[in-house]
Structure 1
Amino acid sequence: MSGSGDGQKAQGRGTAKMVGVAIAAFAFTFSLVPLYRVACEKVFGIRVENAAIGSDRAVALGAGKSDRVITVQFDGGVNSKLPWSFHPEQVSMKVRPGEQYDTTFYARNDGKRAIVGNAVPSIAPARASGYFSKTECFCFTAQTLQAGEARDMPVRFIIAPDLPEEIHTITLSYTFFKNNELTAQLGAAGSATASRAAP
């Protein structure tokens, strides 16, 4: 009987450890967003605006459409360690606050192997960042391009109708950085596949 009791205690401790690990993993994942923001703003000096908004928020913004016309400028570049070409398909557009708009950025991997990149967005002037929301964006996830692959990357955005009157132009800019960890994993997976395929 005591052996059975000890087994149950050990099983209970094991379950408690598993639950603890799961909670710790959840907490770590949850903390990545603010850590990412701090890294971008403090280390790279890039101000990251609010990320995606939900459909309810988008509808609420659209309900207050404005007759104002705002110029949105687009800019894009890559970190020196990333052998990609990256630029906006259009330099600027005229938009009305409260309405959704779409634009695209062009990316091409000029390297000789598959590479994973992450785009870090920024808004200028900084004051406008709280009024500019993206409902769809390639920057929400890591992007993988095979060697020589080119792709159009969409962005859908909306500007809040209560944008301060003195703001007439907003610049949306992206900088792509190489994701070293995911690129290494991709290369390792490719090497493993090639070795299995070899006779």
Structure 2
Amino acid sequence: MYRLLSLKNTIQPLQRISARSVPIGATCRSNLPKSPIYPRRPYSSQREHAQQSNTSGGMYTLAVFVSMLGISYAAVPLYRIFCASTGYSGTPVTDKARFAPERLVPDTESRRIKITFESNTSDALQWNFKPELREVRVVPGETALTFYRAKNNAKEDIVGIATYNVTPYRAGQYFNKIQCFCFEEQMLRAGEEVDMPVFFFIDPDFNEDPYMKDVNTITLSYTLFNAKYAKDVVPGQRP
């Protein structure tokens, strides 16, 4: 009986101490030292980091834009060179490597091909422009010279630039131009009139191509643009 009373008297003070020491709803906190973790960034550091990220993203976007702009400016000249070298899209070949003397020998046994000439001008160009001859007939390997005549009807000097193509398109690779005024700026003073030469021949390989068997007429067509508005004209383009 004495032991039970002693135990009871011991427990009750402990309960009173616990009730006073730990308020109801309080959480336990450890007195152990905190783990050595990285401190949280202050708000200003986070803002600086975000600004740096935005700046880097903006510079990357600007670099991509400048690169694409450069590619777009280079695309038109490269496309012209490609067309003039391969005859793609009906573009006459102007590669001088194709003008070897042995290729400039007329094939007198071949049938004659009729070459017709056409002209067009854009609405922004106040010029008269037409071929002096409507057609010529040549055999492969035979050179021919013809002219286009242009006159500036405006009251001011104007610079024009010409594109060209050949139809049927598949014959473009055999239409070799030794001299032409294509993609060259032509400045005419007010009222001035000039003759512009075209010196060409049909490649002798024309006769060896089975796809040319039914081609008896080839048309060379020029289109003149006002150079002020025609920075990106490409072969075969029409107004």
**TM-score range relative to shorter protein:** 0.5 to 0.7
3-state SS, counterpart of residue 160 of structure 2 = strand
1:34 matched residue in structure 2:
78
Counterparts of 1:154-169 in structure 2, within 5 Å, are: 154-163=197-206, 164-169=212-217
Say what the alpha-carbon RMSD is for the aligned residues. 2.8
Q: Structure 1 regions of 5+ residues with no counterpart?
A: 1-26, 39-46, 183-199
Code of the residue aligned with 2:155 in structure 1: it is K
TM value normalised by structure 1: 0.66
Q: Structure 2 regions of 5+ residues with no counterpart?
A: 1-70, 83-88, 207-211, 231-239
Counterparts of 1:99-118 in structure 2, within 5 Å, are: 99-118=142-161
1:80 matched residue in structure 2:
123
1:4 matched residue in structure 2:
none
TM value normalised by structure 2: 0.56
Spell out, residue by residue over 1:21-66, the C-alpha distance to the aligned partner (whole angstroms, 9 max, x if none). Answer: xxxxxx998754234579xxxxxxxx45144231663424224634
Cα distance, 1:112 vs structure 2: 1.0
2:107 matched residue in structure 1:
65
Percent of aligned positions with the same letter in both sequences? 35
Cα distance, 1:126 vs structure 2: 0.5
Any conservation in 1 of the 2:90–2:173 contact (CA below 8 Å)? no
Code of the residue aligned with 2:185 in structure 1: it is A
1:171 matched residue in structure 2:
219
2:190 matched residue in structure 1:
147
Tell me how far apart the structure 2 counterparts of residues 141 and 107 of structure 1 sit (CA, whole Å): 14
1:98 matched residue in structure 2:
141
Any conservation in 2 of the 1:132–1:160 contact (CA below 8 Å)? yes
Any conservation in 2 of the 1:66–1:161 contact (CA below 8 Å)? no
Cα distance, 1:172 vs structure 2: 0.3
Cα distance, 1:181 vs structure 2: 6.4
1:135 matched residue in structure 2:
178
Q: Which runs of 4+ in 1 moved over 3 A?
A: 27-32, 35-38
2:132 matched residue in structure 1:
89
Would you tell me which structure has more strand in proportion to its own residues?
1
Q: How many residues align?
A: 150
In structure 2, the CA distance between the partners of 1:165 and 1:35, relative to structure 1 (3 Å rule), is: closer
In structure 2, the CA distance between the partners of 1:48 and 1:69, relative to structure 1 (3 Å rule), is: closer
Alignment pair present for 1:49 and 2:91: yes
Tell me how far apart the structure 2 counterparts of residues 49 and 128 of structure 1 sit (CA, whole Å): 9
2:228 matched residue in structure 1:
180
Q: Which has the larger radius of gyration?
A: 2
Cα distance, 1:116 vs structure 2: 0.7
Cα distance, 1:165 vs structure 2: 2.2
In structure 2, the CA distance between the partners of 1:115 and 1:73, relative to structure 1 (3 Å rule), is: same
Any conservation in 1 of the 2:93–2:175 contact (CA below 8 Å)? no
3-state SS, counterpart of residue 138 of structure 1 = coil
2:58 matched residue in structure 1:
none
Tell me how far apart the structure 2 counterparts of residues 35 and 29 of structure 1 sit (CA, whole Å): 11
Tell me how far apart the structure 2 counterparts of residues 56 and 36 of structure 1 sit (CA, whole Å): 17
